[in-house]
Structure 1
Amino acid sequence: MTHSTPRENPQTASPIRIGCAGWALSSNVAARFPTQGSHLERYARVFSAAEINSSFYRSHQPKTYARWAETVPEGFRFSVKIPKTVSHELRLSDADAAMSAFLAELAPLGEKLACLLLQLPPSLAFEKSIARDFFALLRDLTSVRVVCEPRHATWFTDEAAQTLIDGKVACVRAHPPPVAGVEPVGDPRALYIRLHGSPRIYYSAYDEPFIEAVAARIVEARDSGADVWCVFDNTAHGEAVPNALMLMEKLEEAAG
């Protein structure tokens, strides 16, 4: 690995992890990556993290997670999306067996598993007892950081924020925001930004001023001691990788 990649700059505070939802590399960005190896191998030579979204739709065999873990450098980390069985079908209730099975599949990731992403359906309103019990279950089952992306307005309240904080669950800063003008609050020890693309979700690229603003927010959070993730999910037309590369360049410039 060369010493020119942004992820190898020494960190002065908490880590910053920049990556994409998945690791597809289109031909228009190929020149920015090594030529040898699988897409994940090449991706992981430049980025320090990736979000595995496919786990939301289907289970993977432990040997698949083991292969991914073996493919990436030692310092690389994965965030893995909790299955829709838990979030959308069980709706966080009676999820013990489903979560235990999911975590057993993930076990081969070892220390390269750094985050679990819980994306809630837009129809799932906040119910304190259900949320509290589910977060307690997660804390009983794993010590891995958990971030939640709620999309119903009832989660954007003081009571919901306190339940997230008490459960040691950080709240995703999503763009476009699910509730306009309101920023969710959770465990302040992590800032997890998910950029879905705007104006056309999953498709649109972000412009340079937007990326510069994200970089400033990341530096502020990092300097306050938070662990920071920024994941680009505008993958449908291949805009995630160029946007993530631009963000790393802006962070390098900010570091001087």
Structure 2
Amino acid sequence: MIRVGISGWRYAGWRGVFYPTGLPQRRELEHAAGRLTTIEVNGSFYSLQRPSSWRAWAAEVPEDFLFAVKGPRYITHMKKLVDVEAPLGTFLASGVLSLGARLGPLLWQLPPNLGFHPDRLAAFFDLLPRRTSEASAFAAAHHDASKLKEPADTASPEDRPLRHVLEVRHQSFWTPEFCELLRAHDIGMVVADSAGTWPMFDEVTSDLAYVRLHGDQELYTSGYSEKALDHWAEKVRQWDAQGLDVLVYFDNDAKVHAPFDAIALQERLGIAPSGREHQAGSSGVEHRR
């Protein structure tokens, strides 16, 4: 499996550029899903989403579309992974499991000021459910209904594997012990390009290569050059040749580069959204270069 997409989709600055002028906001997800193969939900990082929102998003994309979901910053940045049973249960009860087959990995991003604490990480990894049925049971047992904006939705339409990936931003993670810990718990290491702002960790620790591209030369702002896109396309091919699943998300959203860079990388890899024939050069990417 190789999929390329964007981190988030609801950006005012994209309207009239990536989104056609006059397109209703409620159809922006449908538009993006028609051109890409996956999207990373990042609104869930900032606040709990409504169960009705998760169900609506699932209905607006093709059956084979995939959502990666970013875990709440309350767990990673505020609680720093300590005493998080209730917040984790509440997040899982917020309706995310209703995505069903469209639910991809859960992304956990640690803050730059949190260093490597192996015991803390191991305890958190042990909490994480590895199947949607386990997540449903955990949510039912541990959620705090008072934190939800609508009644809890802990149901999962079917029992499926549930993957987790971790993005870190502190130099202290440069140790073989970190990689060994991830492998022992089957947690994927996120390969994050941040234009040199934070260290890039690129060792594969599970059967999933998960890439976040935050900017080629300037964080969140710069687009990826033709040379840079060629580089990432080759990396994806190498991972694919190793039998890994690969997910790539562009997060350089500030100047509307993300969706066009994602389409350009898709074209290099010869993949296209469901039901759309691949036509190199048809996306208008060169106009954005």
TM-score (norm 2): 0.77
- Tell me which amino acid in the other structure corresponds to 1:211: L
TM-superposed CA distance for 1:199, in Å, is 2.1
- Verify: 1:118 aligned to 2:108, yes or no: yes
Task: Label 1:214 to 1:184 Cα distance change in 2 as closer, same or farther (>3 A).
Answer: closer
Q: Does 1:172 align with 2:161?
A: no
Letter in 2 for 1:225: G
- Whether contact under 8 Å (2:190, 2:201) holds in the other structure is no
Aligned to 2:149: none
- Aligned-pair distance for 1:154? 1.6
Q: Please state if 1:224 is matched with 2:242.
A: yes
Distance in 1 separating the partners of 2:80 and 2:269: 38
Give the Cα separation in 2 of the matches to 1:35 and 1:251: 31
2:90 to 71, 77, 101: 101
- Given residue 236 of structure 1, which amino acid in structure 2 is its aligned partner? A
Letter matched to residue 252 of structure 1: G
Percent of matched pairs sharing the same residue: 33
- 1:241 alignment partner AA: P
- Specify the alignment match of 2:214 in structure 1: 196
**How far did residue 245 of structure 1 move?**
0.9
Post-superposition CA distance 1:31-90 (Å, at most 9, x none): 7xx999701111111211000111111111111001001111000010111101100111
- Provide the aligned C-alpha RMSD in A: 2.3
- Matches of 2:73 and 2:125, distance apart in 1: 16
Distance 1:92 1:184, change over 3 A: farther
The amino acid across from 1:134 in the alignment is F
Matched, 1:208 2:198: no
- Call closer, same or farther: CA 1:37–1:101 in 2, change over 3 Å: closer
Q: CA deviation at 1:104?
A: 1.4
The correspondence for 2:8, drawn from 5, 22, 27, is: 22
Residue of structure 2 in register with 1:234 after alignment: 252
Q: Which residue of the partner structure matches residue 275 of structure 2? A: none
Residues 15-41 of structure 1: CA deviation (Å, up to 9, x unaligned): 11100011245423347xx99970111
| Counterpart AA for 1:244 | A
Shift in Å, 1:183 = 3.0
Matched residue, 1:11: none
Contact preservation (8 Å) 2:209, 2:247: yes
- C-alpha displacement of 1:187: 2.2
Q: Distance in 1 between matches of 2:4 and 2:41?
A: 14
Q: 1:35 to 1:99 in 2, by over 3 A?
A: closer
The residue type paired with residue 71 of structure 1 is E
Contact 1:156–1:184, Cα closer than 8 Å, also in 2:
no
Q: Deviations over 1:4-25 (max 9, x none)?
A: xxxxxxxxxxx11100011245
SS state at 1:125 partner:
coil
Structure 1 length normalisation: TM-score? Answer: 0.86
Name the structure 1 match of 2:75: 86
User: Residue 27 of structure 1: SS of its match in structure 2?
Assistant: coil
Counterpart position of 1:162: 180
Following superposition, the deviation at residue 184 of structure 1 comes to: 4.1
Q: Where does 1:119-134 land on structure 2 (aligned, <5 Å)?
A: 119-134=109-124
Q: Distance in 1 between matches of 2:35 and 2:71?
A: 26
2:69, 2:107 within 8 Å by CA — same for their partners in 1? yes
